[in-house]
Amino acid sequence: MEIKEITGGTDVEIAEIAYDSRKVKAGDVFVAVKGEHVDGHDFIKDAAGRGACAVVYDSPIHSPRRVARGDRFTLLGESPEATDSPIPVFIRVSDSRKALAYLSNNFYERPSGKLTVIGVTGTNGKTTAAYLIKSILEAWGKDAGLIGTINYLVKDRHYDAPHTTPEALEFQAALNEMVSAGCSHVVTEVSSHALAQKRVDYTGFSVAVFTNLTRDHLDFHITMEEYFRAKERLFKELLLKDGTSVINFDDPYGRRLISELKTSQQGAANLRGSKTENVITYGIETGADIVAVNIKNSFDGLLFDINFNGSTYNIQSPLIGIYNVYNILSAIGTAVSLNVPWDAIISGIKNMVSVKGRFEKINLGQDFLCIVDYAHTEDALERLILTAKGIIKEQQSSRAAEQHYTNNASRITHHASRIITVFGCGGDRDRGKRPRMAAIATKLSDYVLITSDNPRSEEPMEIIREVEKGALRMNYTIEPDREKAIQKAVETAAEGDILLIAGKGHEDYQEIKGIRHKFSDREIAEKAIRRLWRF
């Protein structure tokens, strides 16, 4: 952290750290950071008025000139009327966000140095991969905490997760709590926003996992190159020198990351010799260190073999879909890097039943399959629908086999199973993916209901019009009311169909015009099924 200028004496005792002026109390240090919508520099006067003993900032704010009257002050050219607050110290730094991470890490006594911290980054799969790693660690007998999209877990305590990766202050506080609770390991999802905004800087990561990279968050990163560079920081700047990178070899950006780690100066320092000792690759295609073969994917789960270091291991998981093979592989790569025994790896994978809002089944006895999933990118939506198509293919094969073995004695007529997809796109986010998601949905689904997601500050119908431009077929209906869209989808579904409700997954709200209204896809779907089927 580079300090450019200090105004005032530094012999002050810090009570706490705050980056929200509304939370400042007497004796706190206030760090002014720029957010996506507001700039903390605009609230320095408010923080000082609340008793901040020090202010850290990085943008010009005129001069932190003060007109003092005893222990009173005025700030930034305001009228020289006395206030009730002592004169704060002003510290100008090169980067307030980096300063916030630095201060937070030291305030909480550098907790990552007392833990084995595993960071998982990528567009899709972070949450499931993180839960799989945690399950494996627990099967190994370790106490593991988790910081992720759904919630933060400290042993048996659960906390709501406002962000995939919290701000630096909350992140270091969470790590410190896990140390106090006796955790030895922590698995954390690391979002591209967090990396770009330095929320996890000064954290020592023992393992860094890369799942994949597809289009998302371009409202923030603008280009895929900037998106990739943000992800890359975890591996090039934050991974400990003796840490391990676990990378998806089948993903084009994964292969690029491997190449750049080999050739970069820091990567060369970590990856000694011709063999990439500190990189473990995984994939289904040949060429990776850990390879999945003989994959059997059914509605009951996954069965496949792992080839690693000349040995073969049998894997069984209740998770569904080829994309979950990749999530399992990333967890295996992490476990291997930590020298976890294979019996614990196999047991941990088998024990991890499901993750809330990730291909979550709603089964109330209806004769069609209903799935709630967090898929909110074109890649995730495509994987979701293709997984559903695979299940239908498996069902058709089973029916054909059944009729064959009964010697065609009972020729039961089944209508062709359909895929019905409900989806929308969030407001105030990457607009470019909207028509792309419509193209995927209408191409691969039999019937689509285009609806609202979290419209936020945008008008729902304006979002839907942009989505609709990408439709490749006229096999869709527009229903901006998400609850009505789900109800219509349930009413449309027939025996053997698969209904996919995509986009919100575990979320229990819908954000409209800045207000979060209680809303759960799962609860709405269950209500509609019960009413229709009179359960």
DSSP string, 83-114: -SSPPPEEEEES-HHHHHHHHHHHHTT-GGGG
- Judged against a pLDDT cut of 80, whether residue 400 lies above it is answered with no
* 119 three-class SS: strand
C-alpha distances out from residue 247 to 84, 119, 281, Å? 55, 12, 5
More confident residue, 163 or 513: 513
pLDDT of residue 471: 98
d(CA 302, CA 295): 7
Would you say 127 and 142 are in contact if contact means Cβ atoms under 8 Å apart? no
State the CB neighbour count (10 A cutoff) for residue 76.
14
Give strand ranges (E) for 10-162: 17-18, 29-31, 54-57, 89-93, 116-121, 144-147, 151-154, 157-160
Residue 267 has pLDDT above 60, yes or no: no
Range 25-52 average pLDDT: 92
**Arithmetic mean of pLDDT, 67-91:** 51
Buried b (16+ CB within 10 A) or exposed e, 14-30: eeebbbbbeebeeebbb
User: Which of 414, 383, 419 has its CA nearest to residue 399?
Assistant: 414
pLDDT (0 to 100) of residue 528: 96
Pairwise CA distance, residues 487 & 275, whole Å: 55
pLDDT band at 406 (very low <50, low <70, confident <90, very high): low
- Beta partners for residue 39, in sequence order: 34
Task: Indicate the range of 7-21, 175-189, 398-412, 432-446 predicted with least confidence.
Answer: 398-412
Strand partners, 246: 209, 280
Task: Identify which of 137-141, 163-167, 404-408 has the greatest average pLDDT.
Answer: 137-141
Total-model pTM: 0.85
- List domains and CATH numbers for the chain: 3-103 (3.40.1390.10), 110-351 (3.40.1190.10), 360-533 (3.90.190.20)
* Number of residues written out for the chain: 535
**Structure token pair of residue 343:** 């019996």
Query: Which run of H or E residues covers position 170?
Result: helix 168-180
Mean pLDDT, the chain, whole residue set: 88
* Nearest-angstrom CA–CA distance, 109 and 65: 33
Name 240's bridge partners. none
In the numeric block, the tokens 């770009």 are attached to: 196
Q: Tell me the HSE value of 306 on the side-chain side, using a 13 A CA sphere.
A: 25
Confidence of residue 161 (pLDDT cuts 50, 70, 90): low
Q: Which two tokens stand for residue 239?
A: 């991974």
CA angle 95, 98, 102 (to 5 degrees): 135
Residue 479 has pLDDT above 90, yes or no: yes
**Cβ pair 368, 499 in contact under 8 A:** yes
Lowest mean per-residue pLDDT among 142-151, 210-219, 244-253, 396-405:
396-405
CA distance 267 to 408: 63
Lowest-pLDDT range of 217-231, 369-383, 494-508: 217-231
Beta strand residue intervals within 197-263, DSSP E: 205-210, 239-248
